Chain A
């Protein structure tokens, strides 16, 4: 029993004995830590980039839709203005024809 305890104590001492870190461990840990930070930063910036890209695409689509809507509205207003011009000219023509007819009737009446 006593031997067994001694052996255990010896093993424990051996296990707890301070050993120097293997060469390059610190560098490995620092590198791993830096890599983790880099990955985190990368994924963070990737998230922002995705967000920015999404916003840009949304803005482009929105701008395109808006531009198309404005173009359609512009065309509609232009067509309305065109119709108004043609209506105005038709009414003008009608009024001038009436004037012509009356003048002609007046002149023929005078001729008689």
Chain B
């Protein structure tokens, strides 16, 4: 066995190991960053990237303060989640991203198991809003939000059971309670009635 053969075998082993690492990551449920994100990050003036898998969420939950109402609510909210994937790109001027970039992002995250509940596009401003939810046996098991403003692009992917009644307690965290008002997001039945809307029944599209 010559040195070249050994090098080739080691290379193959490294590739296999990398493959296993990718599979392990994919099994976490959280996606790998989309290729568009790198380009967006390069153009953005301010980038916020948060990727927390189930383990990290569990770890973070230990450090959330139960005495603080918002943090206690956040703790309850993240306790059953599989992962959180958030990207926020802020640009110094308009036109730093194209509709093609937005379409690529949507296509990257939009898999068949996701149901679109909101898709809105304002032709004048070019602002786009997409909300998709993942329903399993009638329960919300994931939420994807893509919000494009002239100088800001936000991607939010939350995997796991989402209870709007928990979110409504998070008043101090930027109005997370708004999720409960979105169409298609299932709330816990109250007084024996399910007060949720059906996915897509308020789908807005200005196009």
Q: Which residues of A contact B (CB under 8 A)?
A: 75, 77-79, 81-82, 84-100, 102-103, 106-107
Contacts and interface: CB of A to CB of B under 8 A. Distances in A.
A85 B129 contact: no
Interface in B83-139: 84, 86, 88, 118, 120, 122, 127, 129, 131
7 contacts: A88-B50, A89-B174, A91-B50, A92-B156, A95-B154, A97-B175, A99-B118
Contacts of B118: 99, 103
B62 interface: yes
Given A86-B173, A99-B145, A91 B86 contact: yes
Chain A interface mostly helix, strand, loop or mixed?
A: helix
Given A87-B50, A91-B86, A102-B127, A96 B60 contact: no
B100 to A, nearest CB: 21
Q: Which 9 A-B pairs have the closest CB atoms?
A: A93-B174, A81-B60, A78-B63, A93-B176, A82-B63, A96-B178, A88-B50, A88-B86, A97-B175
Contacts of B48: 87, 91
User: Size class of B's contact patch?
Assistant: 35 or more
A100 B202 CA distance: 12
Contacts of B173: 86, 89-90, 93
B104 to A, nearest CB: 19
Given A77-B59, A82-B60, A91 B88 contact: yes
A92 B174 contact: yes
Contact of B182 (A88, A90, A94, A96): A96
B168 to A, nearest CB: 11
B175 A102 contact: no
Contacts of B204: 102-103, 106-107
B149 interface: yes
B63 A89 contact: no
A98 B120 contact: no
Nearest to A96: B178
